[in-house]
Chain A
Amino acid sequence: MADYVPHTEREIEAMLGFLGLASLDDLFSVVPEALRLAARPHGDGTPRFLGLADGLGEPDVLAEMERLGAANTACTGPGVPSGRGLVCFAGGGAYDHEVPEAVRALGSRSEYVTAYTPYQAEVAQGVLQALFEYQTMVARLSGLDVANASLYDGASACVEAANLAAAVTGRPGVWLSRGVHPHWRSTMATFAAGSGLSLVPAPLQDGVTSWDSGPADAPGALVVQYPNYLGCLEDLDAARRAADARGALLVVAFDPVAAGLLRPPGERGADVVVGEGQALGTPLSFGGPYLGLLACRLELVRRLPGRLVGETVDAEGRRAYVSTLRTREQDIRRERASSNVCTNQTLIAVACAIQMAWLGTTGLRELALRCARATRHTRQSLLAIDGVEPLVGAPVLREFAVRLPVAPSIVVERMLDEGFLAGIALDGDPDLGPGVGPGLLVAATERRTRGQIDAYATAMAKVIR
């Protein structure tokens, strides 16, 4: 068994002696006898306090973890034996991008990995400054004034933005585009059961949101995704007009990679920008830990959920960083707080900051361009196949959806045998608009080559025949 307790038996005896105790069991005399676990026969009949297997040495733990890893079919890439992995054409908020070695190496530095929340700023300038740089870059990407130091994921960022809007406007209604990721919408619905927000769906028409008929009561927020779940470029000007007509805040869920090509949502009237930050610096990770992005206009900063790092000076006037506007947060505001976020995703935010700086001004645009080219080529290759049609007509960028002559979930299963994660089957989602679905949602990142895309199209032609 691996053991991270340094104490020798002699040291334990000495410490117990200091406390006037005879045994470790005596430490728990404050726990009522009836509640204390007794050693019971488990498994092989040996008495144990918990019905869990005995501990393993490090090599055996790693062997078991490797066995579990080998029982998955991962996406192709470093460490996955060639011919064993799936070539990834799935997106839906989780994208198969390269994570540069510099990001991996710096993001694994144990000072970042094993620090706590920077409550003692004097010994936490590393994390604080990295977060300050992260906030600055997220604000610039979104075109807004200020960004927080991370939320859990894209879904939680939507939840927090809706709560922020309700707190600012005093109105519980949320007019929610059906183009927002269905998992994010269902997460918002889950938390609305407690917060009392009422979610009113805005339908899609040919892939983009129609704001023509709104809810009876003026909502506090409009929420739209850009590009949306189907990869379509929403009309943000129309969304802004619809928000203005009702005095609501406009919340735009953006994609930080597509942001390398698109006008920032903040420039187009968004009051709050949220998003999923996984694409910049985090592996697919079976869905987590990911990164919730949230930025807003300066006027809303006192309602900003989560942590915020600010620049200040130390006692000698040197530049320093510290968690600020702390009175917004749950540990001070308690039941009057509008967010309960405490632990966030700092390490993922730091990795994202490192990756954004690694890309820089030119690299982010190049990355966005390469993804757009791969997506365009994939789309053209699929649409050239007899029986494959666009699911919707609106212009797309990050990903796209096609209609297939075979049920998409069957296509996805068949394509696994061909070595591809073909995309995300949309046949389970009835919300994507009249006449939409079943379809297949497809994304291609900068990692996809012409050879892979052509082979994907060839395999697709085969499995839908």
Chain B
Amino acid sequence: MTGDQSGPSASPEPSPAAGGRAASAPLLGRAEEPTVFELSSPGRRAWSFAEVDLPAWDAADLVPAEHLAEEPVALPELSERDLVAHHTRLTHRQYSVDLGAYPLGSCTMKYNPKLADAASSLPGLARVHPATPSSCTQGWLELLVALGEALAEVTGMAAVSLQPPAGAAGELTGLLLMRAWHDQRGDAGRTKVVIPDSAHGTNPASVTLGGYRAVTVASDERGCVDLDALRKVLDDDVAGIMLTNPNTLGLFEDDIVEIATAVHDAGGLVYYDGANLNAILGVTRPGDMGFDIVHLNLHKTFAVPHGGGGPGAGPVAVTAALAPFLPGPLPVAAADGSFGWETPARSIGRVHGWHGNALALARAYAYVLALGGDGLRRVSEIAVLNANWLRRRLVGHYVVPHDRPCMHECVVSAADLARERGLRAVDVAKRLLEEGFHAPTVSFPLVVKEALMIEPTETESPQTLAALADALVRIAEEASPDDRQAPRTTPVGRVDEVRAARRLVATFDARRPAGGLPFGEPAEEAAPPSGRPPDRRGEG
């Protein structure tokens, strides 16, 4: 390890491996894996069903002729053994938090405690039908009420809806709450929502879907919202502002009270994007900063695993003034200690088909129980410590555009490397994959050129952090034009994204040449897709 003498490596270590390294290189799975369709062999099957002793009506007895499919849907046919082997090989081609560090900025890819897996698969939770009357779901309702109260405490808000199934759904829910609040006050003319130029892409997209126009406000040289620029756009048309604090540069918006006051004075509401909540648990609260609406990403801050892209959960918390508008029905506690459902008086309506991503909510609740209040504060302390240590360690090796303490993540720039050595941020990211780490977020936020946004999270040890820093420093020091070929040790090399978009192949089609598979049925004998007429518009 070449870590700085003052860093964690200064601790005496009984063994070079002490503390371990959460990294994994290379991944297994260098061999191409055939698709499940190519593995198919007609007549094979994995399925079996229970004996139910029911009349053996034919399909024709059960389905009117005009509705009955002439042929079954063409799906793969393989044994359970081969299906398991297929997916096991696929997982060998997949990096994950359980394998190693995943310092994706703004994504909070922390370790997901295994106890939450056990909690969310308890039959008493997982086998409950969502339409079961509340007399038989008292445990679920108690859990949801308790989680809502915990999230309200953490955010400093008055009331919570757990329905939004993801962060973006939470954002849109928040904007609809904003709209309902203005409408109810007879102030329906507001058309704009202000967003900083460093915001996540979901913010402006949600604004549009909320029926508002996004107005961008610039960041100042300190990386924060420019208060003067903000005041210039605040007028009677502004419905509100959406902010992340700390922002996507990992910086705390220290003018937040002034910002909130200015927006409130203009008649707008202040929305907190909870993407970066991991920085401030038990330290400060959006409610205390003046925010009116908050969404949380439980798949970030509350350790719900990200599942390769989801499911997450995006609860929304609001002030007392906005509580009557929350999506419903809401789980509530009655005076007699029982639990039930209640739809708020002026509810905007449902934002989910049932009660939200309930099992993800159960995982988050297990996490809250495990950590408790002080444990949650500890999360943020160490997350911020790790990010600042890493940021400091990278000074001199990468451009650090905002030279001030960061919160849970830091943004560095490969702009010098790109100019002097031809190595862009994306190349640094691909090199890091070779080193056994996941890449940071690349080319975001948009306000920093060649940005590398690094969020180590609190669950990576000082040793892992040092190894990550060493790898980043080595990549910068050894930068060569060859690095643009990286990654070379991963299951596949750099993929051709342009080709994927230009010649869209979004489904497997056996009629296309399979391309030199080492084994399996010839492509033309694989299961064809179900036949369908060439043009379906206006048919029949």
A211 to chain B, nearest CB (A): 15
Q: 9 A-B Cβ contacts within 8 A?
A: A6-B459, A37-B285, A52-B150, A126-B29, A139-B507, A284-B130, A287-B352, A343-B314, A370-B52
- Mask, A278-298, CB within 8 Å of B = 1, is 000001111111100000011
State the CA gap A57–B314 with chains docked (Å): 26
B339 to chain A, nearest CB (A): 9
Nearest chain A residue, comparing its CB with the CB of B84 = A102
- Mask, B345-375, CB within 8 Å of A = 1, is 0001111111111111010011011111111
> Which of A148-156, A213-221, A399-407 lines the interface with chain B?
A148-156
Whether A130 touches B87, Cβ cut-off 8 Å, given contacts A4-B110, A269-B537, A330-B202, is: yes
Asked whether A435 is an interface residue with its Cβ less than 8 Å from the other chain, the reply is no
The reply to whether B138 and A374 contact each other, CB–CB distance below 8 Å, is: no
- Mask, A180-214, CB within 8 Å of B = 1, is 01011011011101111000000000000000000
The reply to whether A357 and B501 contact each other, CB–CB distance below 8 Å, is: no
Whether A191 touches B490, Cβ cut-off 8 Å, given contacts A11-B8, A18-B389, is: no
The reply to whether B381 and A266 contact each other, CB–CB distance below 8 Å, is: no
State the CA gap A130–B374 with chains docked (Å): 40
The reply to whether B209 and A268 contact each other, CB–CB distance below 8 Å, is: no
B378 contact set on A, CB distance < 8 A: 3, 5
Nearest chain A residue, comparing its CB with the CB of B143 = A68
- Mask, B164-192, CB within 8 Å of A = 1, is 01111101100110011000000000000
The reply to whether A126 and B124 contact each other, CB–CB distance below 8 Å, is: no
A310 to chain B, nearest CB (A): 4
Partner of B139, one of A16, A67, A114, A122: A67
Task: List residues 40-55 of chain A with CB under 8 A from any CB of chain B.
Answer: 42, 48-55
A57 contact set on B, CB distance < 8 A: 370
Partner of B97, one of A27, A115, A369: A115
State the CA gap A52–B297 with chains docked (Å): 19
Number of interface residues of A (CB under 8 A): 230
Nearest chain A residue, comparing its CB with the CB of B207 = A335
B84 to chain A, nearest CB (A): 6
A193 contact set on B, CB distance < 8 A: 176, 179-180, 211, 348-349
Asked whether A463 is an interface residue with its Cβ less than 8 Å from the other chain, the reply is no
User: Considering the complex of A and B, which 7 residue pairs feature the smallest CB-CB distances, nearest first?
Assistant: A69-B124, A287-B354, A126-B94, A71-B139, A287-B130, A347-B307, A55-B372
Main SS class of interface, B: loop
B46 contact set on A, CB distance < 8 A: 100, 102, 357-360, 363
Task: List residues 153-182 of chain A with CB under 8 A from any CB of chain B.
Answer: 153-156, 163, 181
Number of interface residues of B (CB under 8 A): 225
Whether A94 touches B354, Cβ cut-off 8 Å, given contacts A122-B494, A123-B95, is: yes
The reply to whether B35 and A132 contact each other, CB–CB distance below 8 Å, is: yes
The reply to whether A287 and B299 contact each other, CB–CB distance below 8 Å, is: no
Nearest chain B residue, comparing its CB with the CB of A267 = B532
Nearest chain B residue, comparing its CB with the CB of A17 = B6
State the CA gap A146–B532 with chains docked (Å): 13
A78 contact set on B, CB distance < 8 A: 123
Nearest chain B residue, comparing its CB with the CB of A76 = B127
Partner of B352, one of A2, A102, A152, A451: A152
Nearest chain A residue, comparing its CB with the CB of B252 = A30
Asked whether B283 is an interface residue with its Cβ less than 8 Å from the other chain, the reply is yes
State the CA gap A402–B439 with chains docked (Å): 57
The reply to whether B357 and A289 contact each other, CB–CB distance below 8 Å, is: yes
Q: Taking A30-B252, A118-B308 as given, write out 8 further A-B residue pairs in contact, using a Cβ cutoff of 8 Å, ordered by the A residue number.
A: A36-B284, A122-B491, A154-B353, A270-B536, A334-B205, A335-B204, A335-B208, A449-B52
Asked whether B392 is an interface residue with its Cβ less than 8 Å from the other chain, the reply is yes
- Mask, B377-411, CB within 8 Å of A = 1, is 11101101110110011000000000011010000
The reply to whether A115 and B96 contact each other, CB–CB distance below 8 Å, is: yes
Whether A94 touches B139, Cβ cut-off 8 Å, given contacts A106-B87, A125-B94, is: no
B301 to chain A, nearest CB (A): 13
B426 to chain A, nearest CB (A): 10
The reply to whether B405 and A301 contact each other, CB–CB distance below 8 Å, is: no
The reply to whether B389 and A19 contact each other, CB–CB distance below 8 Å, is: yes
Asked whether B76 is an interface residue with its Cβ less than 8 Å from the other chain, the reply is yes
Asked whether B485 is an interface residue with its Cβ less than 8 Å from the other chain, the reply is yes
Partner of B111, one of A4, A102, A150, A345: A4
Partner of A340, one of B142, B202, B429: B202
Nearest chain B residue, comparing its CB with the CB of A368 = B59
B200 to chain A, nearest CB (A): 7
A451 contact set on B, CB distance < 8 A: 53
A131 contact set on B, CB distance < 8 A: 308
Asked whether A82 is an interface residue with its Cβ less than 8 Å from the other chain, the reply is no
B67 to chain A, nearest CB (A): 5
B350 contact set on A, CB distance < 8 A: 155, 183, 186-187, 190
The reply to whether A123 and B179 contact each other, CB–CB distance below 8 Å, is: no
B14 contact set on A, CB distance < 8 A: none
The reply to whether B439 and A314 contact each other, CB–CB distance below 8 Å, is: no
The reply to whether A286 and B113 contact each other, CB–CB distance below 8 Å, is: no
State the CA gap A313–B354 with chains docked (Å): 41
- Mask, B397-441, CB within 8 Å of A = 1, is 000000011010000000000000000000001100100001101
Nearest chain A residue, comparing its CB with the CB of B39 = A357
Partner of A313, one of B37, B129, B496: B496
Whether A263 touches B70, Cβ cut-off 8 Å, given contacts A75-B127, A137-B75, is: yes
A350 contact set on B, CB distance < 8 A: 308
Asked whether B72 is an interface residue with its Cβ less than 8 Å from the other chain, the reply is yes
The reply to whether B8 and A324 contact each other, CB–CB distance below 8 Å, is: no
- Mask, A16-36, CB within 8 Å of B = 1, is 111100001001111110111
